[in-house]
Structure 1
């Protein structure tokens, strides 16, 4: 099974985004990578703490 942990490049990408408004400054070509990184982060967090992630994943999609 593939690990869902963030890859270093995904973590670096998310570190460049200090707040939601900063997403508007990213090139459109980076948005799929941001969605992938956010999805991996959410799944990783929920796998540790438990809880629901359906609505959050819906927002990412």
Structure 2
């Protein structure tokens, strides 16, 4: 069984220490986490699942929080 990567990610710098090949596993763990939370509480599922890879890529490539990201949800 693989170790859970999500348990070791607390800051964007932790994410950038992963190998690119590990990012799909982290995306799956995030997806599972979101589904579990939405199943026990009310919330929107689709939008959260739709931006996982985008969010991981942005935090992996850019030096967040030094590089600021602006999200337009309108």
Structure 2's unaligned 5+ residue stretches are 54-74
TM, length-normalised to structure 1: 0.72
User: Where do 1:14-25 residues align within 5 Å?
Assistant: 14-25=6-17
User: Which residue of structure 2 lines up, in the alignment, with residue 57 of structure 1?
Assistant: 49
Q: 1:42 to 1:25 in 2, by over 3 A?
A: same
RMSD across aligned C-alpha pairs, in angstroms?
Answer: 1.9
Q: Which has the higher Rg, Structure 1 or Structure 2?
A: 2
The alignment of Structure 1 onto Structure 2 pairs a total of residues equal to 53
- Structure 1 runs of 4+ off > 6 angstroms? none
TM, length-normalised to structure 2: 0.61
Question: Which is richer in helix?
Answer: 1
